[in-house]
Structure 1
Amino acid sequence: MLIHPWDAPRDDAEWRDWLTRHDFGQLAVNGPPGSPPWVQPTHFRYDPEPGPYGRVLTHLARPNPLWPALEADPHVLLSVVDDYAYIPGPWAAPEDEPPEYGTPTSFYAAVQLRCTAHVVDDPAEKADLLNRQVAHFQPEGGSAPATAGEAPFGRLLPGLRGLRLDVIEVRAKFKYAGHKSEPVRARIAAHLASRAAPHDDAARAHLERRSPA
């Protein structure tokens, strides 16, 4: 992923905060030589500790075909992309050029976590991992906890395998016209507010939040 200086996060807090509110991504696992990688969409829980970059918790069904590839090579990439919007060329045209000379582009936020994967098969550890995920997605409660060997979910644990992903490198990008002049950025923000398509509000918030002014 190309990251221009004006698209880079201002500090680790920026991407960490964004990631805690975006908890669905694609887990890429290296395939055998000559084969493409396996890519698995998944919900996950990101914990900012331990280590310098934190840890990701998730789980997949035991019949998932990616397990042999993951066990052969535990180096994986979790990619998370959201808050994206298509920006028509005329919106982004420089102030001193005709609108039709403007270059269309995309806005988006992206965080890529390079991780070392650890498979969790111990029933008690797996139950704890699942309960921590549920606590993240369902803080209001309402579901019985998973407990190894006990109803209602103990019988389902053998059908799942947990994944603990220790993050060893982070690449983050917030592509929101950071190199454009303030009048052009204001024009784009006004068009996003007017169009009001899905993700436009989030993209405009990033654009305004990251304004050099």
Structure 2
Amino acid sequence: MLPFNSKTSLEPAQNRARGEAVSESFGDARRTLSAYGSRVSEILALDQHGDRLMPLVAAGGSSTEARALLSKRKASDLFAGARAPEAALGGLWLYFSCFQECHEIVQNVASPEGSFWHGIAHRQEPDAGNAAYWFRRVGSHPVFGDLRERAGEIAARYPGAGFRMGARWDPLAFIEFSEMAREQPGSESESAALEIQRAEWQLLFDYCARPRS
């Protein structure tokens, strides 16, 4: 496994501190990530083993070493046999806040997963209108049910955040909430948005990167 101290992080220190603990929803991150293969596990180990709290606005990359490694890899190298290899690679770039690299990939992935990552990327850009367009292209998605459940658990821990959900996951409502939360650094709203965004990434990445059943 590659050394953690090789990471060069550009994200806010406050967000890094929040991300130190492994999220309850992801369980044992190292064990979970082993399902994606050793190469992917080693890359994610450069920044909190898939448990990073990505900023609500992408700003540069969080790991120079991850960028260097990913630039040498193709989707077929990292995600052979996965459900959605190209989409998984786009999501991996996004995990390290590499907006441009993610966007170059997912804009050419003509699938609900490609549109999903495309929407997240533009939400973090931030470009709310463009993000909404791509989430409308997604329609419904298999991860929405679990994401609704996870988001509900997170929102319950932050009653002051003011995030209200309906019976189904609404990505457009989360765009609006993220827009508001980023204007309130250090608030319960920001904390809830960051954790929900992490759960969103984990669920979608798992869906894309797992081997086809």
TM over 0.5: no
- TM (norm. structure 1) is 0.22
Of Structure 1 and Structure 2, which has the larger fraction of its residues in helix? 2
Of Structure 1 and Structure 2, which has the larger fraction of its residues in strand? 1
